[in-house]
């Protein structure tokens, strides 16, 4: 079995791997794309800024618990309107562990108050008259987690211009450009309920599929299958000064039996439930 880049199988493997890795050619291309893409066209107006700060009872990534303890997550998106239905977004994400004990999570203990996951995601989007298509890359790193190396994925997202029983469909595809290779696909639906002028409920349901390479990275078995089925509900309360207060609940389970059994054999849960509270801003 080949080496897993960012999901070591044992804590001994974590301690034996070096946390320092040189920037790969893919990461350099990602950096150049990030710097020069907005310069290729004229910007028609100032950027739109969306920011969020959330506290969650658990950190779950693609159906796998990273830590059972509380975490703080921050996200920031800068979006430039390029005109003619095009936009460029530079997104960033940071996860901070709130406790030293990770329980059944995959992260090692001892990272309370430390940044354990960082993502940068430049994305180009096209509005095709009702349907939205976007393409970009996401660079993911795990500071302070020895053995969890960087990885870069190409991302393609499609929102078709129709609804299914008032739900908006979505398809998203991640292809790993680093050591892991492989395709992780996501198929989802979402719906918004306007409860009042200041209160709305957003619900979503997502089903993923991992090919054999991604299954080995995520679920510790070299066999393709359906990964996490995730359901989420977010209540948003609009306040003055571009502020929203949010409360959320989410649950996930691994659909394919062989993937779930592989996680359980390593002492990891194949079903998770977590809560969240926080704030978001839009300017």
188 - beta bridge partners?
Answer: 170, 206
Beta strands of the chain (E only): which ranges? Answer: 48-56, 59-61, 64-67, 71-83, 86-97, 115-127, 132-141, 151-159, 168-176, 183-194, 199-210, 225-239, 243-254, 271-282
Q: What is the pLDDT of residue 40?
A: 52
3-state secondary structure of 213: helix
The structural domains of the chain, ordered by start, are 11-35+56-282 (2.40.160.40)
Backbone angles phi, psi at 177, to 5 degrees: -95, -5
pLDDT at site 75? 98
DSSP assigned state of 3: P
Q: Cα-flanking dihedrals φ and ψ of residue 31, to 5°?
A: -65, -45
Q: Are 34 and 122 in contact (CB under 8 A)?
A: yes
What's the rounded Cα separation, in Å, for the pair 123 and 90?
Answer: 6
What is the pTM for the complete model shown?
0.84
pLDDT means over runs of 10, the chain (283 residues): 42 42 51 49 76 97 94 97 94 96 88 94 95 97 80 96 94 89 95 95 98 93 97 95 94 98 94 97 91
Q: Give the pLDDT confidence score for residue 44 in this predicted structure.
A: 60
Q: Would you state the pLDDT for residue 278? A: 98
As a whole number of angstroms, the distance between CA 244 and CA 171 comes to 27
Task: Report pLDDT for 21.
Answer: 45
What's residue 146's pLDDT? 64
Cα distances from 115 to residues 14, 95, 145, in angstroms, run 17, 6, 9
């Amino acid at each position: 079995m080949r080496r897993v880049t960012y999901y070591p199988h044992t804590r001994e493997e974590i301690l034996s791997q070096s946390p320092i890795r040189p920037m790969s050619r893919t990461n350099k291309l990602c950096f150049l794309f990030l710097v020069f893409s907005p310069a290729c066209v004229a910007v028609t107006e100032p950027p739109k800024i969306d920011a969020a700060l959330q506290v969650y009872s658990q950190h779950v990534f693609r159906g796998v618990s990273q830590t059972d303890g509380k975490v703080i997550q921050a996200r920031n998106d800068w979006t430039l309107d390029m005109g003619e239905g095009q936009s460029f977004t530079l997104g960033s994400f940071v996860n901070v562990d709130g406790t030293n004990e990770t329980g059944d999570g995959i992260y090692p203990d001892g990272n309370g108050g430390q940044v354990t996951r960082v993502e940068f995601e430049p994305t180009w989007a096209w509005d095709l008259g009702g349907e939205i298509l976007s393409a970009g890359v996401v660079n993911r790193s795990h500071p302070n987690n020895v053995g969890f190396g960087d990885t870069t994925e190409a991302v393609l997202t499609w929102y078709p211009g129709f609804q299914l029983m008032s739900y908006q469909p979505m398809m998203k595809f991640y292809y790993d450009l680093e050591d892991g290779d492989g395709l992780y696909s996501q198929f989802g639906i979402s719906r918004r309920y306007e409860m009042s002028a200041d209160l709305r409920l957003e619900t979503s349901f997502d089903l993923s599929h991992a090919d054999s390479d991604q299954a080995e990275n995520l679920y510790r078995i070299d066999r393709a299958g359906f990964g996490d089925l995730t359901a989420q509900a977010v209540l948003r309360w609009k306040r003055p000064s571009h502020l929203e207060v949010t409360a959320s609940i989410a649950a996930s389970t691994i659909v394919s039996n062989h993937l779930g059994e592989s996680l359980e054999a390593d002492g990891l849960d194949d079903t998770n439930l977590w809560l969240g509270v926080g704030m978001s801003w839009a300017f």
